[in-house]
């Protein structure tokens, strides 16, 4: 979609939303307001923010419930309603799933990407529990299969989990990240005019050349703006290899700090390498970008 925060991804790729989740729950979640103060407002902002509202194009994320305390087993559940107010029950499969769900705490910790299931009445649910207190944003990423569908949508609401949140500071900018014995090196810069981000994956000093497909791609990149959790998702360029390099073409909506989540599969397990980056403003950019085919398709960025 052209009016939201997106990455302009090149080539064939796909979206990944990852994680594991557990549990069943109680009422939570106040609607999040639209990101009226963000997006393509200035010459240095190439794309608009997305994922910061519970409604768009007549579609709404409603009836969000989840556990209200840490370590409480329960269910996270919700519905998507259409312009006529009734639950949407038909969704276009994208990257092997009807709907992708990303959840992260407002300090950018606790990132999870999961795939709930839908019942015949349009109710989505997944077993769930929270590891820590705090305020979380729940993103639903989907394409309604309806007449006059607006295409890719990302709707969100917030959930408050009781207790002292003990918020964590944003980690410093780094060019490498380690996870489960894997080292991931980042190259390239995130800018408002767009450019390449390259990630090189190795294990014990040896390049990983047999990355396993996850939802149809070697790796997936989700980015959240640190100030407001505006949502971006980029698909990798396809070069026919299985690593160690994975390349994305990404564009930020404005300068500032972003948290990147690179998901990749190897040895039968999906892992997430996390990075903090500073997006630089490109002063040569003179007008908001209206190009691209939406945050999933076409350019592949969201």
Per-residue pLDDT tens digits for 124-156: 999 999 999 999 999 999 999 988 899 999 999
Q: Which long-range CB contacts under 8 A does 169-176 form with residues at least 24 apart?
A: 169/107, 170/107, 170/108, 170/226, 170/257, 170/259, 170/276, 171/274, 171/276, 172/276, 173/275, 173/276, 173/277, 173/278, 174/275, 174/276
DSSP state letter for 7: -
Q: What is the pLDDT of residue 217?
A: 86
Give the SS3 label for residue 13. coil
Percent of the chain with pLDDT over 90: 60
Q: What is the pLDDT of residue 301?
A: 56
| Mean of all residue pLDDT scores within the chain | 81
What's the average model confidence in pLDDT over 183-196?
92
What's the average model confidence in pLDDT over 218-233?
90
Strand partners, 27: 65
With contact defined as beta carbons under 8 Å apart, do 1 and 287 qualify? Answer: no
* Distance (Å, whole) CA 171 – CA 140: 26
Catalogue all structural domains in the chain, each as residue range(s) with its CATH number.
Answer: 26-161 (2.60.40.10), 176-279 (2.60.40.10)
pLDDT at 42 over 90: no
Q: Which two tokens stand for residue 59?
A: 């579609």
Q: How confident is the model at residue 95 (pLDDT cuts 50, 70, 90)?
A: confident
Q: What is the pTM of this model?
A: 0.79
Q: What is the pLDDT of residue 40?
A: 29
Q: How confident is the model at residue 24 (pLDDT cuts 50, 70, 90)?
A: very low
Q: What is the pLDDT of residue 13?
A: 37
What's the average model confidence in pLDDT over 15-37?
35
Q: How confident is the model at residue 176 (pLDDT cuts 50, 70, 90)?
A: very high
Most confident of 3-7, 29-33, 85-89, 219-223: 85-89
Q: What is the pLDDT of residue 47?
A: 65
Q: What is the pLDDT of residue 246?
A: 95
Q: Comparing C-alpha atoms, which of 260, 253, 281, 192 is closest to residue 2?
A: 253
């Amino acid at each position: 979609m052209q009016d939201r925060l997106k990455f302009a991804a090149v080539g064939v790729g796909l979206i990944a939303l990852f994680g594991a989740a557990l549990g069943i729950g109680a009422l939570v979640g106040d609607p999040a307001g639209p990101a009226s103060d963000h997006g393509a407002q200035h010459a240095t902002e190439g794309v608009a923010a997305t994922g910061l509202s519970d409604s768009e194009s007549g579609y709404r994320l409603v009836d969000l419930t989840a556990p209200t305390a840490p370590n409480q087993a329960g269910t996270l559940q919700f519905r998507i309603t259409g312009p006529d107010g009734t639950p949407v029950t038909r969704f276009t499969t994208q990257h092997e799933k009807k709907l992708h769900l990303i959840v992260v705490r407002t300090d950018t910790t606790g990132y999870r990407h999961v795939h709930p299931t839908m019942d015949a009445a349009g109710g989505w649910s997944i077993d769930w529990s929270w590891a820590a207190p705090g305020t979380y944003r729940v993103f639903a990423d989907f394409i309604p299969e309806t007449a006059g569908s607006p295409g890719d949508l990302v709707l969100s609401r917030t959930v408050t989990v009781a207790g002292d949140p003990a918020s964590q500071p944003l980690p410093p900018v780094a060019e490498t990240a380690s996870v489960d014995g894997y080292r991931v090196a980042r190259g390239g810069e995130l800018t408002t005019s767009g450019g390449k981000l390259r990630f090189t994956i190795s294990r014990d000093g040896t390049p990983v050349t047999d990355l396993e497909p996850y939802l149809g791609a070697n790796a997936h990149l989700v980015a959240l703006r640190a100030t407001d959790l505006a949502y971006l998702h980029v698909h990798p360029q396809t070069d026919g290899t299985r690593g160690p390099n994975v390349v994305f073409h990404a564009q930020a909506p404005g300068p500032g700090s972003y948290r990147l989540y690179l998901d990749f599969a190897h040895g039968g397990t999906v892992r997430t390498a996390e990075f903090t980056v500073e997006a630089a403003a490109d002063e040569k950019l003179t007008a908001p970008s209206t190009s691209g085919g939406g945050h999933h398709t076409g350019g592949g960025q969201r």
